[in-house]
Amino acid sequence: MATPFSERVSSPEWLAATEGRVLRMLREVGVRATGPLERRRVRPWSTQLTITTDAGLVWCKQNHLPMAFEAHMQEVLAQHAPGSVQAPLAVDAAHGLLLTIDHGPSVAERGTVTTDVWIGLVSEAAHVQHSLVQQRGELLGTGMPDRSIRVDERFDELVDLLAGLPKSHAARLDEVEASRLRAARRAVADAVDVLADSPYPAAWNHGDLHPGNAYPDGDGYRLFDLADGQWANALEVLAVPHDWIDRRPDLSWEPVLDAWAAAWGLRRPTAEEWRAMRIVHAVNRTCTWADVLGTMTDAELHRWAHHAPDELLGVLRHTERA
């Protein structure tokens, strides 16, 4: 079995090798390090480090292999939507290393998040989506996954994968859950057809759009933490915002939805289109969690692995609401 990602990036050997790469990357852009590379956070899918330089604090991010595209993709997004995504200080695409200048606290860290803040965030995301609608080939060339295709086939694969795990595995679907999901396959295929007939195109999706993954810049916002990105129906960018807002009785969802639709110049989705998006999104979000199952320690599986079946069971939740 391969060494879990978090153990690999926590080793002194990995840190020393990465510090060497980071110092080289800094020299190539004319920046001088004034301190050592320091580890800030480790997760089963990514690690963040910082280094002080004569240009300020620099963040270094390394993702596990399925998300290693983020570094190159941020370059592409910064080129096509320069006001919405920070341009990297340096990128080592071969190793998936991303260096960025510290941008200060996120929106979530700066105070109360209001409905108006959410309107700004989804409007910014819609602007990025619209800016990139013709850039599919360039984005997929970074390694970002295309989840606008084969949704029903990937659904079958995910059910088989999670149902086939050992009984003690935290991500395992039991027999009843797997049977119910297989019976819902027609609903997944129908949802794909509904979205294909909708006015909403396939587009770039942030994948985890919320106030902790954006920071204010002038009158707008810049988005970061882009490793959950994927090419999928444009509506899918709203799934995470909806669920965050739905938990807060002091926030209003309808103005946020209207702002996103207005930014696209399209009508708001019908109930059928919204339900179809939630079914497809449940499949696509499960892919993100399934990709990391094989890189976790036992303790990490205990903490995080349940997200994979929980997301896939969203197919049933949204199907049964019809």
- Domains of the chain are 5-101 (3.30.200), 110-319 (3.90.1200.10)
Residue 320, pLDDT score: 81
Q: Is the pLDDT of residue 152 over 70?
A: yes
What is the per-residue pLDDT across 168-194, written as a single tens digit (0 to 9) for each? 999 999 999 999 999 999 999 999 999
* CB contact at 8 A, 52 and 35: yes
Tell me what percent of the residues of the chain surpass a pLDDT of 90. Answer: 97
What is the per-residue pLDDT across 255-303, written as a single tens digit (0 to 9) for each? 999 999 999 999 999 999 999 999 999 999 999 999 999 999 999 999 9
51 beta partners: 58
Overall average pLDDT of the 126-142 stretch? 96
Q: How far apart are the first and last CA of the chain?
A: 43
Residue 2, pLDDT score: 83
**pLDDT mean across residues, the chain:** 97
What is the per-residue pLDDT across 104-131, written as a single tens digit (0 to 9) for each? 999 999 989 999 999 999 999 999 999 9
Overall average pLDDT of the 74-95 stretch? 96
Residue 54, burial from CB neighbour count under 10 angstroms (0-12, 13-18, 19+) = exposed
Query: How far apart are alpha carbons 48 and 101 in whole angstroms?
Result: 13
* CB contact at 8 A, 3 and 64: no
Which residues, including other chains, have CB under 8 Å from residue 254's CB and lie 6 or more apart? none
Residue 87, pLDDT score: 97
* CB contact at 8 A, 227 and 143: no
Q: Is the pLDDT of residue 322 over 60?
A: no
- pLDDT confidence tier of residue 1, bands split at 50, 70 and 90: low
Overall average pLDDT of the 22-26 stretch? 98
What is the per-residue pLDDT across 196-245, written as a single tens digit (0 to 9) for each? 999 999 999 999 999 999 999 998 999 999 999 999 999 999 999 999 99
Q: Is the pLDDT of residue 321 over 90?
A: no
Query: How far apart are alpha carbons 58 and 70 in whole angstroms?
Result: 17
Query: How far apart are alpha carbons 292 and 307 in whole angstroms?
Result: 11
Residue 17, pLDDT score: 97
